[in-house]
Amino acid sequence: MSQLQTGDPAPQFTLPNQDGVKIKLSDFKGKKNVVLYFYPKDMTPGCTQEACDFTANKNKISKKDTVILGVSMDSPERHQKFIAKHQINFDLLSDESAEVCQAYDAYQMKNMYGKKFMGIVRSTFIIDKKGKLTHVFPKVKVKDHVEEVLAALAEIK
């Protein structure tokens, strides 16, 4: 599968959020930009930090006419616990089949402590109101990532 590029149409999806409500990318077309970020697992240190960073900056992101959507393979129930524990203020989507993760090339072979396995590679995509990718951040490092996203959002007309 080839890597998604800036300017490509964002792959469409419909996924349940933490409450089991189906969220479609097309729901935002013509209305909002979307920060779509993929992360490995609820309740882990890096993923918690990333979610808390987005939560802390939600107002700045919202001012850019943008919604935040986090995606992992965790269940909606686990997302509910994660949201409650860390007061996360945006939707977390459940991609238990990894289909959407694969469509965005965020589901890849990983190597941890010499063990190879398939998993989510932390990645962020900014999708404009027309449904096009304006920014692609593969293999994201959590530290300062929200600042990168805010800088990218400032470039969207």
End-to-end CA gap in the chain: 30
Q: Could you give the CA distance from residue 114 to residue 137 in angstroms, rounded to a whole number? A: 25
Q: Which residues contact 25 (CB under 8 A, 6 or more apart)?
A: 10, 11, 12, 13, 14, 34, 36, 127, 131
What sign does the dihedral 131-101-80-19 (CA atoms) show? positive
52 a catalytic residue: no
Alpha carbon distances (Å) from 100 to 13, 52, 123: 7, 23, 12
From the candidates 47, 68, 93, 133, which is the catalytic residue? 47
Catalytic positions are: 47
